[in-house]
Amino acid sequence: MRTTLTIDDDVLAAAKQFADVRGITLGEAISQLARATLTERRRFGTRNGVVLLPTQASSGSAGLDDVNALRDDLA
């Protein structure tokens, strides 16, 4: 599909470099970069319009006691 876009000079330069390094066209580079960004955003869930950040399996969770202790430390 052909379309016309206005792209900042630095973004265009980075996309051209991305394309050159991979031996692909500028259009293919823009498509790959856009697709990767859109896929990354979809991978994270949202709650009330806020993107939920990923956690590591080894990370713990904060319970009510943890929150209260932090609140008390600030008081």
Please state the domain extents for the chain.
1-46
Instruction: Indicate if the pLDDT at residue 42 is higher than 80.
Output: no
Consecutive H or E run containing 51: strand 50-51
pTM of the entire predicted model = 0.53
In the predicted model, what is the mean pLDDT of residues 59-63? 83
In the predicted model, what is the mean pLDDT of residues 27-38? 93
Instruction: Indicate if the pLDDT at residue 46 is higher than 70.
Output: yes
Grade residue 41 by pLDDT with cuts at 50, 70 and 90: low
Two tokens, residue 24: 């692909």
pLDDT for the residue 75:
81
Closest by alpha carbon to 33, among 50, 47, 46, 16?
16
Instruction: Fold for 1-46, please state it.
Output: Arc Repressor Mutant (1.10.1220)
